Structures are given as structure tokens and as C-alpha cells.
């Protein structure tokens, strides 16, 4: 089955290159999303409907990456549905659309490869692949600003990933005579590793892959890239790409835990996590571009994931729940921001007034996404953040706990100010309102967000047994 999701995009690529029909572009993305979703659901249910077709030894599904795969599939399916309506509005050029399709397929392919690979080196190669694929997607609008964003993205991430490769080389020095980068070999032999080189390699890998994940202080590409990319791509970047980088950090962190020198790694993760929260709290208040504001919120949430990982135990469990919730809600948030951009034609917060009056559904989606991301119950993020606070409390990190709550409150205030202002303020110019009301959006541009938010709120109220068991299994060993 792994072969199916890894080989399908290549097949789609060939079909698209051979017959250049316009309708095929969207169809391919939709079919791939469906295949992706079916396969990963089958993995979660532990059924293999193609048992004869064995994948190559570099790819495997284990307890940890199962969750990441499932989240990616769900978000990709939502984005694919949204995309049907979006590209109709966005471009009529067949060639541009075809390039877009190629790159979306390649982008999702490389993220899937990064999530499924059970070898540190191969995961690294695929993470680099995601940079190359998404660079074009960020540059899609071909304006001065999108060039700038794409340039910063490619350059900063390439340097980060190159440094992560230095980390992998240092890891091979630490492993001594173990001639392998497979995670299972690394876990089994971890107690024998040289601690000095292992710690050094963790620094490089954390900073390198942390660049990709958007942790402060190496987050600088993130707001620009998320703000300039087309909205479906922003959703993919925020809800799936950052996760696949996080998976690599989790796997390397597990090596540190097994080798018995995780104390140092935990401190580094904590520092980067709190720095991410701090940076968001400082910047989010004055921001005047709503897509940028969402990008900063992604940095904040990645910071929370890093903090949860550092806490370990229940904190790690909370981080996994947070990851699921954040991906669903932030995906919906970014897709809704795409609707607003279509209606108003600007990304400026002050220029968007009376959203609820102009388009009721978009307005409510915007507010509900905010309620979800701000972790008000019944959002699933409430569960994860509550667990995290509880863990900090039980482990007697009172100052950390207070800092965590304070920073989160500031971030929520900053977000709320912008979101409520956009949704509830009265329209200033009546003519413009009439113009805007003429913009009619496809039903595909509402449905994915509604479903994603329903799931996120639903599992906040009742988490199915299967899901909670999968989450528990994924954090075994921390």
C-alpha cells in the first residue's frame, strides 16, 4: 500500500505530461487525495489490502508516523476539495495550472515520503524535496513580493537543511561502528553511542529541521512564505509540512531519550518552544496582514509542540493531540482566509470590515476557526493545552506554567482583536459592499472547513477509542 501512495503521483505526472487536458489537472489532485486518504485510513485500521505488494525497505508505517500520515491525508483531502473552487477563480491559463498541479503532486509526494521513511537519511532527502516543490508554489503569483518570499524560503530552508545534514554526519560519528541510519537500528543501539557527538548532532538537527518546522529563532521564512503563497498552499504548508519536519525531530529526540542524554535536548526544545511563543506574542498584536497573523499563530503552535515534546510523558501525549487539532483547525483557518482574500481582494486587516454581513458563512467559519485555535472548549486544543499545563504543574515547573499561560493569553488577545474586528465591525463603504456581495464562492470553498472544524470540535468532546489508542501508542517510549 505504501507503494501505491508513493507511486501514484509519478503516474499522475506522466499522464498529465502526455495528455495536456485542462480538466485532468484538478482530477489528478482529487484522485490522489482520495487514494491518499483511503490508504492511510487502511493503515490506521491495520488492514493491508495489497499485502503482496511489499514496499522497499526504506519506507514503513509504525506507531508514530501513522498519526502524521492520517493528519496529512485529512488535510490534503480538504485542500484538494477546496482547490476545485479556488483554481476556477485564480487562473485560466492551462499551462500555469498544469505547473501548479505538478508541483502540488510533487509537494505532497515528498511530504509523504518524509513521513513514511524509516531512515534518517532518506527522511532528510524528502524534507529537502519539499523545499524545492513548495518554492514554486509560493512563487505562484509571480509578483515582487512572492519572489522575495520564495527566495527567503528556499535560501533559509536550504541552509537549515544543509546544517541538518551536518547533524546527520555527526550522528554517524556518534554511532561508531554501527553502519546504519535506520531508526530501528539507532533506537536499539542508542545506549552505546558517544554522548558528545550525539548531543552535537542534536543541536544541528534541531536547528536545521527546526528551520523547516518554523521554530523561533529560525522562523524568518515562515510568515513571508505563508502570507504570499496561494491559500490552499498556505494550508498545506502550515498543517502538513511543519508536521513532517516535527516528526523527524521527534524521531531524533527519541534516539536521545534511548541513549540516556535527553536532559540537554529537553532544555533546547523548551528554549526554542518558549522563544516561539514569545516571538508570536510580541509580533501578533501589531500585525496588519491577516495571513501573516495566521502564520505567526503557526509558529506559536509549533512552539507548543516543542514544549510538549520537551516535557515528555503526558506532555508528549498532549503534543500529539495538539498536532492533530492544530492541523485541522489551522487548515480550516487558512482556507477561510482564502475566501476572505477572494471577496475583499486585500490581505490588510483594517480593510476587511463587516465580514459577517458581507458573507455570513465565511464570517462564521472565520470566528469558529478562531475559537478553535484559541483553545476554547470544546476545541480539541483545549484538551491538549490543559494536559500540558497540568503536566507542568505536576512536575512543579510553576514559573514555566505561568509564563506559558501568560504568553498564550497575549497571543489569544492579539488574534481576537483582529478576528473580531474583521467579523463584527460595520461596513464603512456601502458601494464596496455591493461589489463584494457579487463575489459568489463555490460550495467547495466552504465544505472542507466545516468538516475540519466539526472533526476538531468533535474529538474535543469525545475522542473515539481507536484514536486515543493510536495516540497513546505513538508516544510509547518517551
Partner 1 sequence: MENIFIILLGLSMIYIAATSRLSAHINMLIAQGWLLFFVCLSGFAKEPWFNWHMVAGPSCITANMPHIISLLFIIVETLIVKAIVIPLFLKKVLKKTQAHRDTEANIPHFYSLFIASIILFGGFLVANIGAPEFKLVDSMYFGVSLSIIITSLWLITIKHKVLSNVIGFITMENGIFLLSLSVAKEMPIIVNLGVLLDIFIAVFILGMLVNEINNEFEDLEVAHLSDLKDYEYND
**Of residues 272 and 295, the one with the C-beta less far from partner 1:** 295
Binding residues for partner 1, per CB under 8 A? 58, 119, 121-122, 124-125, 128-129, 131-132, 135-136, 139, 142, 144-145, 147-152, 154-155, 158-159, 161-162, 165-166, 168-169, 172-173, 175-176, 179, 181, 194, 196-197, 223-224, 227-228, 283, 286-289, 292, 346-348
Q: Rounded to the nearest whole angstrom, what is the least distance from the CB of residue 179 to partner 1 in the complex?
A: 5
Q: Report, in Å, the least distance between residue 154 CB and partner 1.
A: 6
Name the residue nearer to partner 1 (CB basis): 172 or 444. Answer: 172
CB of 381 to partner 1, least distance (A): 24
Burial class (CB in 10 A: 0-12, 13-18, 19+), 145: exposed
Residue closer to partner 1, measured from CB, 25 or 134: 134
> Is the Cβ of residue 156 or residue 323 nearer to partner 1 in the bound state?
156
Query: What is the closest distance, in whole angstroms, from the C-beta atom of residue 197 to partner 1 in the complex?
Result: 6
**Residue 21, SS3 per DSSP:** coil
Reduced to 3 states, what is the DSSP secondary structure of residue 441?
A: coil
State the CB neighbour count (10 A cutoff) for residue 265. Answer: 24
Min dist. Cβ of residue 35 to partner 1 (A): 25
Nearer to partner 1, 133 or 389 (CB): 133
In the bound state with partner 1, the residue whose beta carbon lies nearer, of 190 and 307, is 190
Cβ proximity to partner 1: between 17 and 162 the closer is 162
* Sign of the CA dihedral with 125 first, then 128, 129, and 130 last: positive
In the bound complex, what is the minimum distance in angstroms from residue 125's beta carbon to partner 1? 3
For residue 71, give the nearest of 229, 219, 238 by alpha carbon: 238
Q: Where are the alpha helices (DSSP H) in 91-138?
A: 94-116, 120-138
Cβ count near 343 (within 10 Å): 20
Q: Which is nearer to partner 1, 105 or 401 (CB)?
A: 105
CB of 362 to partner 1, least distance (A): 20
Q: Of 176 and 377, which CB lies nearer to partner 1 in the complex structure? A: 176
Written as one string, the DSSP assignment of 183-224 is HHHHHHHGGGS-HHHHHHHHHHHHHHHHHHHT-TTS-THHHH
Of residues 210 and 312, the one with the C-beta less far from partner 1: 210
Residue (108 or 352) nearer to partner 1, CB:
352
The DSSP output letter for 47 is: -
For the chain, give the number of residues. 478
Q: In the bound complex, what is the minimum distance in angstroms from residue 292's beta carbon to partner 1?
A: 7
> b/e per residue, 2-22, with b = 16+ CB within 10 A?
bebbbebbeebbeebeeeeee
Q: Nearer Cβ to partner 1, position 282 or 450?
A: 282
Q: Hey, CA dihedral for 358, 97, 126, 71, is it positive or negative? A: positive
The number of CA neighbours under 13 Å toward the Cβ of 226 is 33
Give me 182's grid cell: 535506520
Least CB distance to partner 1 at residue 421 (A)? 15
What distance in Å separates the CA atoms of residue 194 and residue 174, rounded to the nearest whole number?
A: 5
3-state SS string for 224-275: HHHHHCCHHHHHHHHHHHHHHHHHHHHHHHHHHHHHCCHHHHHHHHHHHHHH
Write down the least CB distance from residue 93 to partner 1, Å.
17
* 289 strand-pairing partners: 348
Can you say how many angstroms the Cα of residue 74 is from the centroid of all Cα atoms in its chain? 12
**CA gyration radius for the chain?**
21
With H, G, I as helix, E, B as strand and everything else as coil, classify residue 339.
helix
Smallest separation, CB 128 to partner 1 (Å):
4
Minimum distance between the CB of residue 436 and partner 1, rounded to whole angstroms?
A: 19
CB-neighbour burial class of residue 341 (10 A; exposed 0-12, middle 13-18, buried 19+): middle
Amino acid at each position: 500500500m505504501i507503494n501505491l501512495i508513493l507511486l501514484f503521483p509519478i503516474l499522475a505526472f506522466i499522464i498529465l505530461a502526455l495528455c495536456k487536458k485542462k480538466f485532468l489537472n484538478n482530477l489528478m489532485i482529487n484522485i490522489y487525495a482520495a487514494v491518499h486518504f483511503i490508504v492511510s485510513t487502511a493503515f490506521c485500521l491495520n488492514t493491508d489490502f495489497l499485502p503482496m505488494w511489499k514496499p522497499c525497505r526504506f519506507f514503513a508505517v509504525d506507531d508514530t508516523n501513522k498519526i502524521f500520515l492520517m493528519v496529512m491525508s485529512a488535510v490534503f483531502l480538504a485542500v484538494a476539495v477546496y482547490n476545485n473552487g479556488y483554481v476556477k477563480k485564480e487562473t485560466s491559463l492551462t499551462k500555469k495550472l498544469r505547473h501548479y498541479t505538478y508541483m502540488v503532486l510533487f509537494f505532497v509526494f515528498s511530504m509523504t515520503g518524509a513521513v513514511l521513511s524509516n531512515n534518517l537519511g532518506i527522511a532528510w532527502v524528502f524534507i529537502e524535496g519539499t523545499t524545492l516543490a513548495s518554492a514554486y508554489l509560493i512563487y505562484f503569483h509571480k509578483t515582487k513580493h512572492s519572489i522575495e518570499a520564495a527566495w527567503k524560503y528556499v535560501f533559509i530552508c536550504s541552509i537549515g537543511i544543509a546544517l541538518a545534514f551536518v547533524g546527520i554526519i555527526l550522528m554517524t560519528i556518534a554511532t561508531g561502528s554501527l553502519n546504519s541510519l535506520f531508526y530501528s537500528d539507532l533506537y536499539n543501539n542508542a545506549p552505546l553511542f558517544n554522548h558528545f557527538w550525539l548531543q552535537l548532532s542534536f543541536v544541528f538537527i534541531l536547528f536545521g529541521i527546526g528551520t523547516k518546522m518554523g521554530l523561533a529563532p529560525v522562523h524568518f521564512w515562515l510568515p513571508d512564505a505563508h502570507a504570499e503563497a496561494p491559500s490552499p498552499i498556505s494550508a498545506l504548508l502550515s498543517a502538513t509540512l511543519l508536521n513532517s519536519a516535527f516528526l523527524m525531530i521527534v524521531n531524533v529526540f527519541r534516539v536521545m531519550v534511548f541513549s540516556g542524554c535527553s536532559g540537554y535536548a529537553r532544555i533546547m526544545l523548551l528554549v526554542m518552544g518558549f522563544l516561539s511563543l514569545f516571538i508570536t506574542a510580541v509580533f501578533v498584536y501589531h500585525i496588519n496582514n491577516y495571513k501573516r497573523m495566521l502564520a505567526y499563530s503557526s509558529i506559536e503552535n509549533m512552539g507548543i509542540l516543542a514544549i510538549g515534546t520537551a516535557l515528555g510523558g503526558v506532555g508528549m501525549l498532549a503534543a500529539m493531540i495538539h498536532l492533530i487539532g492544530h492541523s485541522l483547525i489551522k487548515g480550516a483557518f487558512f482556507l477561510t482566509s482564502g475566501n476572505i482574500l477572494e471577496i475583499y481582494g486585500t490581505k490588510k486587516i483594517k480593510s476587511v470590515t463587516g465580514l459577517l454581513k458581507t458573507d455570513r458563512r465565511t464570517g462564521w467559519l472565520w470566528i469558529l476557526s478562531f475559537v478553535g485555535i484559541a483553545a476554547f472548549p470544546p476545541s480539541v486544543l483545549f484538551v491538549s493545552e490543559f494536559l500540558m499545563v497540568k503536566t507542568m504543574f505536576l512536575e512543579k515547573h510553576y514559573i514555566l506554567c505561568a509564563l506559558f499561560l501568560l504568553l498564550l493569553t497575549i497571543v489569544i488577545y492579539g488574534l481576537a482583536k483582529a478576528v473580531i474586528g474583521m467579523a463584527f465591525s460595520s461596513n464603512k463603504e456601502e458601494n464596496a459592499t455591493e461589489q463584494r456581495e457579487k463575489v459568489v464562492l463555490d460550495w467547495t470553498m466552504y465544505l472542507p472547513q466545516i468538516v475540519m472544524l466539526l472533526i476538531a470540535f468533535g474529538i474535543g468532546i469525545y475522542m473515539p477509542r481507536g484514536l486515543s489508542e493510536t495516540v497513546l501508542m505513538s508516544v510509547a517510549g518517551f
